[in-house]
Amino acid sequence: MPVSALDYARAHGDAYLQTLDAFLRIPSISTLPESAPDMQRAAAWLADHMRRIGLQNVTISPTAGHPVVYGEWLGAGPTAPTLLVYGHYDVQPVDPLERWQSPPFEPTVRGEYLYSRGVSDDKGQLFMVLAAVESYLCSEGRLPINIKIMAEGEEEIGSPHLTAWVRQERERLACDAVLICDSAMLDARTPLISYGTRGLTYMEVTVYGPANDLHSGTFGGVVDNPLNVLVRILARLQEGTTHRVTIPGFYDRVRPLNEEERALLRRVPMDEETIRRLTGVPAPAGEEEFTWLECGTVRPTLDIHGIRGGFTGEGSKTVIPSVATAKVSMRLVPDQDPDEIARLFTNYVYHLAPDTVRVAVRTLNLARPSVVDLRAPAIRAAAQALTLGFGVEPLYMREGGTLPIIPDFQETLTTDVVLMGFGLRDDNVHAPNERFYLPNFHRGIETLIHFFHLLGKG
């Protein structure tokens, strides 16, 4: 047991929160051009903090967008394992601001929660890793492993420059495992190891009809309304009652779940009532042959995100729009290929399009799915660390969301990736009143201290 590091962490829990406060106060909203100076401030704060706690070779690497902050401690020597930690210092926008109970960049404790934009996603969790490092370096003067920590500033805008940076820095980033603390536990008491993520193919379908908006009195019945056509096409992409995607070939590469994995997932409680409570829907919906958890994590989906065109204001304007556009994305699972799915989607949409309109399909975003071998040593170390930190063995599931960088880490660095998050599902990430459950801030730091220790023992 890493007694002195744990003791140090316990003695400095409040001090850590005070230091985090300064980090959270910087409104590093990556999507807002006017936030550029704040992005620089956040990167500088992080680099300073890394140096202060004893990391070495700290750099702020420029990219075509916001910089990547990097620091390392390699004193464990070449025979000790090397862990690369990935996090991000940028945060989501805060609107609607009026729905925040306390200002988003004035961290405030209410009950057992600390409220602030970024406290869960991901400044707080990134800081916890640094706190675990600090606990070792300030108590024992060393870490049981070599550690490399990188934090980007563009996660919330799709990490447009990260893949290139990771490839370019592949030697500096060489490691035995990657740790990402940017996800949630199952609930406040139940730790979770996420062993995979879904990919994404995000498309835009545009239907061009008349040259200009028309009056539905004058031309209704004689021209195909681009919105009617779009709706007909979109409705044919998914079977209504079974929720199966009908794009030919869509499921061809979906790796079937083996019994071992199904058994593992069955241990994760996710019933109808839980989904109702988490989302507010009258009833969940999904593919019949799969559990709710499977539908939300290991099965591909198709979601319409918005339809533009015509009139959506108050009242009753009778327009036949000249153009109608839909945004549609599909979450993908191993071994679906986002490029191939984009192609299949495009071909099928063209196939469905009548010759009364012109249809254009555009690819907006592609991200590969990932899955991690649960037998990897780093995963086993994480499981033990979580058991020590929370007093409960972790459950295992794949994430429904997308982390495009994971396949890049797996390929570029040929390494395993541990997704071990300390947030909660109702932390309001990407929403007003983002928060973090404080008891797990401390338990999480202790878990990370255990993790480093177990990883070092091999």
**Touching a second copy, residues 292-331 (CB under 8 A):** 292, 295-297, 299-312, 315-321, 325, 327, 329, 331
State which residue, 138 or 431, has the beta carbon closest to a second copy: 431
Binding status of residue 32 toward a second copy by CB under 8 A? no
Binding status of residue 253 toward a second copy by CB under 8 A? no
Taking CB under 8 A as the criterion, the residue among 75, 103, 249, 401 binding a second copy is: 401
CB distance 370 to 197 below 8 Å? yes
State which residue, 78 or 217, has the beta carbon closest to a second copy: 217
Number of amino acids touching a second copy (CB under 8 A): 87
Q: Are strands 82-88 and 146-152 parallel, antiparallel or unpaired?
A: parallel
Q: Are strands 192-194 and 395-397 parallel, antiparallel or unpaired?
A: parallel
Binding status of residue 402 toward a second copy by CB under 8 A? yes
Q: For residues 407-426, which are near a second copy according to CB under 8 A? A: 425
Binding status of residue 275 toward a second copy by CB under 8 A? yes
State which residue, 10 or 277, has the beta carbon closest to a second copy: 277
Q: How far is the CB of 278 from a second copy (least distance, A)?
A: 8
Binding status of residue 364 toward a second copy by CB under 8 A? yes
State which residue, 47 or 119, has the beta carbon closest to a second copy: 119
Task: Give me 7's structure tokens.
Answer: 């003791």
Instruction: Say which amino acid occupies 204.
Output: E
Q: How far is the CB of 403 from a second copy (least distance, A)?
A: 9
Q: For residues 97-156, which are near a second copy according to CB under 8 A? A: none
State which residue, 275 or 386, has the beta carbon closest to a second copy: 275
State which residue, 56 or 218, has the beta carbon closest to a second copy: 218
Q: For residues 179-238, which are near a second copy according to CB under 8 A? A: 198, 200, 202, 209-225, 227-228, 231-232, 234-236, 238
Binding status of residue 240 toward a second copy by CB under 8 A? yes
Gyration radius of the chain's alpha carbons: 24
Render 372-399 in DSSP notation, one character per residue. --TTSHHHHHHHHHHHHHHSSPPEEE--
Continuous H helices in 54-161: 123-139
**Distance, CA of 441 to CA of 447 (rounded, Å):** 10
Inter-axis angle of helices 3-11 and 13-24, to 10 degrees? 60
Burial of 327 (0-12, 13-18, 19+ CB in 10 A): middle
Peptide bond into 269 cis (omega under 30): no
Taking CB under 8 A as the criterion, the residue among 158, 249, 377, 456 binding a second copy is: 158
Q: How far is the CB of 147 from a second copy (least distance, A)?
A: 28
Q: Which of 334, 449, 316, 340 is nearest to 402 (CA)?
A: 334
Binding status of residue 356 toward a second copy by CB under 8 A? yes
Binding status of residue 256 toward a second copy by CB under 8 A? no
Q: How far is the CB of 218 from a second copy (least distance, A)?
A: 5
C-alpha to C-alpha distances, 56 to 122, 134, 435, nearest whole angstrom: 22, 13, 31
Q: For residues 333-352, which are near a second copy according to CB under 8 A? A: none
Each residue 365-384 as x (binds a second copy by CB under 8 A) or -, in order, gives x-------------------
DSSP 225: -
Counting every residue written for the chain, the total comes to: 458
Query: Which residue do the tokens 């706190």 mark?
Result: 131
**Distance, CA of 401 to CA of 155 (rounded, Å):** 13
State which residue, 1 or 283, has the beta carbon closest to a second copy: 283
Q: Which of 224, 256, 251, 253 is nearest to 238 (CA)?
A: 251
Q: How far is the CB of 33 from a second copy (least distance, A)?
A: 13
